[in-house]
C-alpha cells in the first residue's frame, strides 16, 4: 500500500483510538509529535531515505495507541501490530516502528532498556515526543493531565523523588503536578538523542525554569 494511504489510515486510527483521552494525550499531541519528528528527521539528514521517513512518520503517529496510562482493554496493546500487518508494511520497517514505540518511553529509559540501543529513526521520534512534553505546550499538557487525575497542584510537604525506578515512576498516586517537572520534565533536555532535538530543547527548558521560578514566588506570596 502506498505510504500516503497508509499514513492517512494511521491518522484515522489515531483519531478513533484516542478520542476518549484528555488533551494531554489526544490526537493533537500525536500530530504535533509527527510534525516535529519529520522536521527533526530533515535536520538529521534522514530525508534522503523514503524508508526512514516512513518509519519516522508511522512510529510518531502510532506511538501513544495502547499507552498504559489510558489502557481500557489489554487487547489495545495489539492494535498497532495488527494495523501494520493489515497495511502490508514491510517486515523490517514494521520491526523498527515497533521497536521505537515499545522503547521510547521515559519509563523504559529509567529501566535502562534504551541505553546505547537507539538508531536515528528512534532518536528523532523519541526526541519529538519529549519536545512536546516541555516548554509552553509541555506545561499546558502537564497541568491538563494532573487535573484529569485530580492531583494537587503543589504541596511543599511532598518532595520530588530524586531516584526513580520504572515501577516507582509508574506509581504517581501520591505525587503533585509540580513534582512531575522535577521528576521528569526538567531531565529531558539532557537525554535528547539527536543534535536537532538538543538545540530545540534548550529554549523550551529555559521557559519551564522561568515558569517554575514565577510559580514558587506566587505560591509563597512574594511575587
Which pTM was predicted? 0.92
**Counting Cβ atoms within 10 Å, is residue 186 exposed (0-12), middle (13-18) or buried (19+)?**
middle
Cα–Cα distance measured from residue 157 to residue 202, given in angstroms and rounded to the nearest whole number? 30
- Residue 113: what pLDDT? 61
Cell numbers linked to 43: 535536520
Among 3.90.220.20, 1.10.3210.50, 3.40.228.10, 1.20.140.10, name the CATH number for the domain at 3-219.
1.10.3210.50
| Domain limits, the chain | 3-219
Query: pLDDT at position 127, please?
Result: 98
Q: What is the mean pLDDT of residues 73-93?
A: 89
Q: What is the DSSP letter of 153?
A: S
How crowded is residue 112: how many other Cβ atoms within 10 Å of its Cβ?
10
Give me the residue label for grid cell 529513526.
121
pLDDT tens for residues 8-31? Answer: 999 999 999 999 999 999 999 999
The backbone torsions φ and ψ at residue 187, rounded to the nearest 5 degrees and listed phi first, read -90, -15
Amino acid at each position: 500500500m502506498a505510504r500516503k494511504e497508509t499514513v492517512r489510515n494511521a491518522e484515522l486510527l489515531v483519531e478513533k483510538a484516542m478520542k476518549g483521552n484528555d488533551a494531554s494525550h489526544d490526537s493533537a499531541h500525536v500530530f504535533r509529535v509527527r510534525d516535529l519528528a519529520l522536521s527533526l528527521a530533515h535536520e538529521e539528514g534522514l530525508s534522503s531515505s523514503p524508508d526512514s521517513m516512513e518509519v519516522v512518520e508511522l512510529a510518531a503517529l502510532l506511538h501513544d495507541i495502547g499507552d498504559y496510562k489510558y489502557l481500557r482493554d489489554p487487547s489495545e496493546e495489539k492494535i498497532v501490530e495488527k494495523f501494520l500487518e493489515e497495511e502490508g508494511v514491510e517486515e523490517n520497517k514494521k520491526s523498527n516502528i515497533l521497536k521505537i514505540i515499545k522503547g521510547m518511553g521515559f519509563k523504559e529509559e529509567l529501566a535502562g532498556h534504551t541505553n546505547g540501543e537507539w538508531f536515528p529513526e528512534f532518536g528523532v521520534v523519541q526526541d519529538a515526543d519529549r519536545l512536546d512534553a516541555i516548554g509552553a505546550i509541555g506545561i499546558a499538557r502537564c497541568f491538563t493531565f494532573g487535573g484529569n487525575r485530580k492531583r494537587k497542584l503543589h504541596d511543599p510537604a511532598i518532595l520530588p523523588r530524586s531516584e526513580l525506578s520504572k515501577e516507582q515512576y509508574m506509581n504517581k498516586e501520591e505525587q503533585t503536578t509540580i513534582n512531575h517537572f522535577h521528576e521528569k520534565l526538567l531531565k529531558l533536555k539532557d537525554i535528547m538523542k539527536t543534535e536537532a532535538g538538543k538545540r530545540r530543547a534548550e529554549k523550551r527548558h529555559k521557559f519551564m525554569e522561568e515558569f517554575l521560578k514565577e510559580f514558587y514566588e506566587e505560591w509563597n506570596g512574594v511575587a
